[in-house]
Amino acid sequence: MVSAEKVSPQSFPKPEFTGAEAGLLEFPSSKSRSYNYFKPKKLRATMYEDVTLDVQPDPERHLAQGWLYGFGDGPGGYPHDWTTLKSSDWHKFLDPNEEWEQTIYRNNANTVRQIQLTLENAKGAGAYKHWTPSWIKFVEHHVGAWMHAEHGLGMHVFLAEQRSAPTNMINNAIAVNCVHKLRFAQDLALYNLDLSESEIDFNGSVHKETWQSAPEWQGVRENVERITAIGDWAESLFAANVVYESLVGVLFRSHLVMQIAARNGDYVTPTMIGAGEHDYDRDRRYTKALFSMLTADETHAEANKAVMQGWLDVWVPQSVKAARELQPIWSQPHEKVITFAESWEAAVDGFKTLLSDLQLSEPKGLEL
| For residue 3, pLDDT beyond 60 | no
Nearest to 35 by CA among 58, 63, 67, 62: 62
What is the mean pLDDT of the segment spanning 267-295?
Answer: 97
Q: Band of the pLDDT at 234, cuts 50, 70, 90?
A: very high
What pLDDT was estimated at residue 35? 53
| For residue 32, pLDDT beyond 90 | no
Which pTM was predicted?
Answer: 0.88
What pLDDT was estimated at residue 368? 72
What pLDDT was estimated at residue 46? 87
- Tens digit of each residue's pLDDT (9 = 90 or more) over 167-212: 989 999 999 999 999 999 999 999 999 999 999 999 999 999 999 9
What is the mean pLDDT of the segment spanning 139-145?
Answer: 97
Cβ atoms 248, 329 nearer than 8 A:
no
Whole-number Å distance between alpha carbons of 145 and 250: 15
Whole-number Å distance between alpha carbons of 313 and 360: 12
pLDDT more than 90, % of the chain = 73
Q: Can you say how many angstroms the Cα of residue 44 is from the centroid of all Cα atoms in its chain?
A: 27
| For residue 43, pLDDT beyond 90 | no
Q: Which of 82-91, 146-155, 162-171, 212-221 has the lowest mean pLDDT?
A: 162-171
Average pLDDT taken over every residue of the chain: 90
Q: Band of the pLDDT at 73, cuts 50, 70, 90?
A: confident
- Tens digit of each residue's pLDDT (9 = 90 or more) over 98-117: 999 899 999 999 999 999 99
What is the mean pLDDT of the segment spanning 22-47?
Answer: 68
What pLDDT was estimated at residue 145? 98
What pLDDT was estimated at residue 252? 98
Cβ atoms 265, 131 nearer than 8 A:
yes
What pLDDT was estimated at residue 94? 94
What is the mean pLDDT of the segment spanning 129-157?
Answer: 96
Whole-number Å distance between alpha carbons of 126 and 199: 8
- Tens digit of each residue's pLDDT (9 = 90 or more) over 308-331: 999 999 999 999 999 999 999 999
| For residue 288, pLDDT beyond 90 | yes
